[in-house]
């Protein structure tokens, strides 16, 4: 009930007007069903038994009118309830996606992209089926059932009470099936999410799969996961359909009692054949919504199993978010200061940064060097608040980054990462992603500055060429140049370069370095070096080891100190 109440409170409430209209049509359709059961009595007694021909046309047209009105009302009821259900699910999907976008990177590290896609598509699709089916069917079935029960009690209340002795048994059985199905629904959705994640990884890494000849092995592994989901689906269907033989047996037993008991009452003249036939018709018609309610309960329980997983995601709170009263950031040539910063990705893991205090001067170029895992990328990720520090603080122009709105903070930052994202869109959109209102001339100018214009014009459709998933049509160097063009177009006062030229050959790198040298002028720039030769002209260099700064200075100064930087340089980092 908590899940149902939440769905009603948060998602059904905005559609109360449409719901009221749909319920009106439900009432009309249900009333016509009850009217049909009631009209059977005069048809039986006055026409079939008494042979009153004058009543034939009137009763016949009455039955036709009942079916006509029920058909029209049922149509409008169905389309209105479907519209409500689809609107609810679309709202949930939009809310889930927006919520995911607001969560921090730690959440995405814990939940693979394939599983998140499955939550938005598969889980919500199951919820969609549960919501639309139940909204459309449950209200109508309940109203119809109530009205038909009224007809039964009107005809013979003793027989009606006897007939409904099966209800407690049927209700108990339906509830037991529902509990089993909800648990199984969660298992099915988890299995589908795991399968979706695995397939997404394999499609993205298909080059590696083929290079190592693993096609058959991956097909077998994926086949096992597919078989696991299949077995769960079969088991769910088997359990869900258990209600059919049980309900049929119980109803058959009741119909037997009605015919025997009613037959004796008709023979004794206590009741008429028409009254008995009307009662049997009402019970038979009531049996259909009873069966439907049992099936809808199964559908609802499966949908609620998916709803639990959906709400589990929606209830996940972002660890990194705007503080109350956070101010907008407006910088020109900002200074960035790390004060005794500590950070670890998980509480039980070793600190990625330990008591780091550095100053990145206004309008200068600062470089970070060190072996893999020394904390360079972590420092860079803390500036735009992809994560928040565990201890200490980061200030930009004297303001703690946590006191700034994330939107305004990040609008002042241009990032070129070693993990380059290229969307399956044209070149205009991929470069223009850094500045949504950019003119085409600005995009071309940024591409020229990033040494990308020549190869772009050689593409099949030039700047209109779609680049495929993750830029599959481009080489590593071309993808990197597009990423640099995107940052140039951004024209932000803070420039973060995370091994920005690592995929380029020496000649291209030299050309890009000249461009970056121009771009860096007047900007506060932080560079992570792939080759030490690329940061020799930096205003200052910090050397990191195991999350701590072990050396600081400029290139010649650090070489003459004959410490960690000199050892890295001599070991070939300058090549």
Q: φ and ψ at 369, to 5 degrees?
A: -130, 160
Same domain, 357 and 407: yes
The mean pLDDT value of the chain amounts to 81
Cα(444)–Cα(439) distance, integer angstroms: 9
| Domain assignment present for 301 | yes
| Domain assignment present for 40 | yes
Same domain, 267 and 378: no
Q: Which of 258, 284, 314 delimits the end of a domain?
A: 314
Same domain, 300 and 389: no
Confidence of residue 366 (pLDDT cuts 50, 70, 90): very high
Q: Which class for 46: exposed (0-12), middle (13-18), buried (19 or more C-beta within 10 A)?
A: middle
Same domain, 219 and 358: no
Same domain, 277 and 358: no
| Domain assignment present for 234 | yes
Q: At what angle do helices 243-267 and 167-204 cross, to 10 degrees?
A: 160
pLDDT value at 457 more than 90: yes
Read off the pLDDT of residues 108-137 as tens digits, 9 standing for 90 and up. Answer: 878 878 788 888 888 887 777 777 777 666
Same domain, 21 and 77: yes
Residue 486: domain span: 427-490
Closest to 470 in 3D by CA, of 435, 420, 432, 431: 420
CB atoms within 10 A of CB 82: 15
Same domain, 353 and 288: no
Output DSSP code: residue 554.
-
Confidence of residue 382 (pLDDT cuts 50, 70, 90): very high
Q: How far is CA 158 from CA 163, 255, 258, 319, 467, in A?
A: 9, 14, 11, 63, 75
pLDDT top residue among 247 and 361: 361
Q: How far is CA 390 from CA 224, 327, 354, 394, in A?
A: 42, 22, 10, 11
- Of 1-15, 87-101, 542-556, highest mean pLDDT: 542-556
User: How many helices (DSSP H) and strands (DSSP E) are in the chain?
Assistant: 21, 10
Provide, for the chain, the percentages of residues in helix, strand and coil under a 3-state DSSP scheme, each rounded to the nearest 5: 65, 10, 20
* pLDDT, mean of residues 456-465: 91
CA dihedral sign of residues 557, 561, 567, 570: positive
> Can you give the CATH number for the domain in which 351 is found?
3.40.50.300
Q: Which of 490, 505, 529 delimits the end of a domain?
A: 490
Same domain, 288 and 370: no
- The Cβ-side half-sphere exposure at 235, using a 13 Å CA radius, reads 14
pLDDT value at 574 more than 50: no
| Domain assignment present for 320 | no
Cα(242)–Cα(194) distance, integer angstroms: 29
Encode 375-386: b = buried (16+ Cβ within 10 Å), e = exposed. bbbbbbbbbbbb
Q: At what angle do helices 124-155 and 56-102 cross, to 10 degrees?
A: 150
| Per-residue model confidence (pLDDT) at position 167 | 65
Read off the pLDDT of residues 247-289 as tens digits, 9 standing for 90 and up. Answer: 677 767 777 777 777 777 777 777 777 777 777 777 777 777 7
| Domain assignment present for 419 | no
Same domain, 102 and 119: yes
Read off the pLDDT of residues 407-447 as tens digits, 9 standing for 90 and up. Answer: 899 889 988 887 788 888 899 998 998 787 889 999 999 99
**Of 38-42, 53-57, 359-363, 526-530, which range is least confident?**
53-57
Number of compact structural domains in the chain:
3
> Can you give the CATH number for the domain in which 308 is found?
1.20.1560.10
| Per-residue model confidence (pLDDT) at position 50 | 66
Residues 286 and 147 sit within 8 Å (Cβ to Cβ): no
Same domain, 75 and 121: yes
3-class DSSP string for 324-339? CCCECCCCCCCCEEEE
pLDDT value at 395 more than 90: yes
Confidence of residue 575 (pLDDT cuts 50, 70, 90): very low
Same domain, 229 and 261: yes
Distance, first Cα to last Cα, the chain: 66
User: Which residues does 566 contact at the CB level (< 8 Å), separation at least 6?
Assistant: 558, 559, 560
Cα(413)–Cα(496) distance, integer angstroms: 7
Q: Which of 439, 460, 490 delimits the end of a domain?
A: 490
pLDDT top residue among 129 and 338: 338
Same domain, 43 and 150: yes
């Amino acid at each position: 009930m908590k899940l149902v109440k939440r769905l009603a409170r948060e998602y059904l409430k905005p559609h109360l007007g449409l719901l009221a209209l749909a319920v009106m049509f439900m009432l009309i359709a249900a009333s016509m069903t009850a009217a049909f059961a009631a009209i059977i009595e005069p048809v039986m007694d006055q026409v079939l038994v008494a042979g009153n021909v004058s009543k034939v046309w009137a009763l016949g047209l009455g039955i036709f009118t009942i079916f006509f009105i029920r058909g029209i009302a049922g149509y409008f009821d169905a389309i209105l309830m479907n519209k409500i259900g689809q609107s609810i699910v679309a709202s949930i999907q939009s809310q889930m996606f927006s919520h995911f976008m607001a969560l921090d990177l730690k959440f995405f590290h814990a939940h693979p992209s394939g599983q998140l896609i499955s939550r938005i598509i598969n889980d919500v699709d199951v919820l969609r089926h549960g919501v639309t089916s139940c909204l459309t069917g449950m209200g109508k079935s309940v109203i119809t059932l109530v009205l038909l029960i009224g007809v039964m009690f009107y005809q013979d209340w003793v027989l009606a009470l006897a007939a409904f002795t099966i209800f407690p048994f049927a209700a108990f059985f339906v509830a037991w099936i529902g509990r089993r199905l909800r648990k199984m629904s969660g298992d099915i959705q988890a299995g589908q999410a795991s399968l979706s994640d695995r397939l997404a990884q394999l499609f993205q890494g298909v080059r590696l799969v083929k290079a190592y000849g693993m096609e058959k092995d991956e097909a077998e592994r994926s086949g096992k996961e597919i078989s696991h989901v299949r077995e769960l689906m079969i088991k769910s269907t088997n359990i869900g359909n258990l209600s059919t033989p049980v309900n049929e047996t119980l109803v058959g037993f009741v119909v037997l009692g009605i015919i025997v008991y009613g037959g004796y009452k008709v023979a004794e003249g206590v009741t008429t054949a028409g009254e008995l036939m009307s009662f049997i018709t009402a019970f038979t018609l009531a049996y259909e919504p009873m069966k439907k309610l049992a099936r809808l309960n199964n559908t609802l329980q499966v949908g609620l199993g998916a709803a639990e997983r959906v709400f589990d995601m929606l209830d996940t709170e972002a660890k990194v978010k705007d503080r109350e009263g956070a101010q907008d950031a407006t910088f020109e040539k900002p200074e960035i200061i790390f004060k005794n910063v500590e950070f670890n990705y998980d509480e039980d893991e070793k600190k990625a940064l330990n008591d780091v205090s550095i100053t990145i001067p206004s309008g200068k170029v600062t470089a970070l060097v060190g072996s893999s895992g020394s904390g360079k990328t972590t420092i860079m990720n803390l500036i735009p608040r992809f994560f928040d520090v565990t201890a200490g603080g980061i200030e930009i122009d004297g303001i703690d980054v946590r006191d700034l709105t994330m939107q305004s903070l990040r609008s002042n930052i241009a990032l070129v990462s070693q993990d380059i994202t290229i969307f399956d869109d044209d070149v205009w959109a991929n470069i223009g992603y850094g500045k949504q209102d950019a003119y085409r001339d600005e995009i071309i100018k940024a591409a020229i500055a990033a040494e990308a214009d020549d190869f772009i014009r050689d593409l099949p459709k030039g700047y209109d060429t779609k680049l495929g998933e993750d830029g599959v049509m481009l080489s590593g160097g071309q993808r990197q140049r597009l990423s640099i063009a995107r940052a140039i177009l951004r024209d932000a006062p803070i420039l973060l370069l995370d091994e920005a030229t690592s995929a380029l050959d020496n000649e291209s790198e030299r050309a890009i370095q000249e461009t970056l040298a121009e771009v860096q002028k007047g900007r506060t720039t932080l560079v992570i070096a792939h080759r030490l030769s690329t940061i020799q002209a930096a205003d200052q260099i910090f050397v990191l080891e195991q999350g701590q700064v072990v050396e600081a200075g400029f290139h010649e100064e650090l070489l003459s100190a004959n410490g960690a930087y000199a050892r890295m340089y001599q070991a070939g980092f300058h090549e």
